[in-house]
Amino acid sequence: MKAVKIENLSVYYGQTKALENVSMEVEEGEFLGIMGPNGGGKSTLLKAVLGLIPTTTGRILVYNKDIKENRSIIGYVPQFATMDKRFPISVFEVVLTGCIRKKISLFHKYSSKDRELAYEQLNRVGIAKLANRQISELSGGEFQKLLIARALAVQPKLLLLDEPTASVDAKSRDQIYELLGELNKEMTIILVTHDMMAISSNVRSLACLNGDLTYHGELELNENIVNKLYGCPVDLIAHGVPHRVLKQHRR
């Protein structure tokens, strides 16, 4: 079964193109990495799959249904930078909001099952001991794990993550990748990232976006793909090692 099927998708913000004529399929159980330059449409693609933004053309199916019918099976981890940590709410309360299946009412009450589920997800991501802490007191890595726990409280079949390791330390990054590897045994994952470590060590397929889809397939990040993606000759240098991954280009 196709977890996600995108056909001829275009998204414009006014007269500005974000995505144009993107078509791709994601198999159930896949771990897809999406990479590309800033402004290339990566976050826009995730928001389109979630039904959070209007599309100009095309359609998106999630498990063979329109997104409006199947939004409840998607867990979403937004970019860390878009979140306001000053809001006075506890870690446990944030995860509880993921248990809401319909619009929240003024006097909404969570069930004992909701509370058990929320605590289970906090334990799963390794921050159950922080359940009563205010979110303003969390480190970057702890806050990112909180966002993942909230997404898991939805009990998703499809998990979307937008730069989940962009603002975390190396130890938290490794823990998050290890967790995602385990979660992929149960659900389909689509990960937007600039982190080449994630691409090389975790994902099983790759999509490259820069307004349109320049590549979608196996992990074959060769010179032609990278140059097409960024629109100019690019060198890939291994982190911490004076090693050139791609051949030296000529001007």
Q: Where are the domains of the chain?
A: 2-220
Residue 41 has pLDDT above 80, yes or no: yes
Listed ranges 7-21, 101-115, 202-216, 236-250; the one with the highest mean pLDDT: 7-21
Summarize the confidence of residues 89-116 as an average pLDDT.
83
| 161 within 8 A of 184, measured Cβ to Cβ | no
What share of the chain in percent tops pLDDT 70?
A: 84
In the prediction, which pLDDT does 245 show?
46
In the prediction, which pLDDT does 137 show?
94
pLDDT digits (tens, 9 = 90+) for 142-188: 999 999 999 999 999 999 999 998 888 889 999 999 999 999 999 99
What does pLDDT average to over the chain? 86
Q: Which of 45-49, 126-130, 202-206, 226-230 has the lowest mean pLDDT?
A: 226-230
In the prediction, which pLDDT does 232 show?
64
154/95 Cα distance (integer angstroms)? 9
* Confidence tier at 128 by pLDDT (50, 70, 90): very high
In the prediction, which pLDDT does 251 show?
47
Q: Which CATH architecture has domain 2-220?
A: 3-Layer(aba) Sandwich (3.40)
127/169 Cα distance (integer angstroms)? 16
**Tokens, residue 15:** 């007269």
Which positions ≥6 away from 174 have C-beta within 8 Å? none
Residue 193 has pLDDT above 60, yes or no: yes
Which positions ≥6 away from 237 have C-beta within 8 Å? 243, 244, 245
112/93 Cα distance (integer angstroms)? 13
Geometric angle at alpha carbon 190, from 185 and 194, rounded to 5°: 120
In the prediction, which pLDDT does 68 show?
86
Summarize the confidence of residues 197-201 as an average pLDDT.
67
| 156 within 8 A of 74, measured Cβ to Cβ | yes
